[in-house]
Amino acid sequence: MSVLVTTRVPAFRGQELFLSRLGTLLRQAPGFVLHAARQEGDDLQLTEIWSTVSDADRFYLSHMLPLVPCDVRPERSYAPLQTLVHGAVQPSSASGTWPATRGAQVHRLAA
């Protein structure tokens, strides 16, 4: 079952390098669907969609956790997904913003 994974990473030095390395690894990960990151106070919050919990956990243990300093303990939560709606757009290279789209697609996710 597809799953929404939220990871809160308490503040640590090197978040920019962490995110750039993470992005490269995610693009190659089996079961990876989507990744978004945002600053929440001093913490970094990651939101991801994976095909299965085991895909998400495998990536977390082998790729994400080794990038986090030993004294930082990320907190993770999982929520099963029923549908996924997305548009076929990419951010504008000039502005870095997401343009509006009419081509949204709805996917019913298997239980």
Q: What is the CATH number of the domain that holds 49?
A: 3.30.70.100
Contacts of 88 (CB under 8 A, 6+ apart): 101, 103, 105
| DSSP states of 69-110 | -TT---EEEEEE-SEEEE-S----TTT-PPPP-S--EEEEPP
Instruction: Judge whether 7 lies within some domain.
Output: yes
Instruction: Judge whether 40 lies within some domain.
Output: yes
Determine contact, residues 42/78, Cβ cutoff 8 Å: no
How many domains, in total, are found in the chain? 1
Instruction: Judge whether 86 lies within some domain.
Output: no
Instruction: Judge whether 76 lies within some domain.
Output: yes
The pLDDT profile of the chain, 111 residues, written as one tens digit per residue, is: 889 999 999 987 777 888 888 888 998 999 999 899 888 888 999 999 999 999 999 999 999 999 888 888 999 999 998 887 776 655 555 545 444 444 444 445 555
Instruction: Return the structure tokens found at 26.
Output: 């995610």
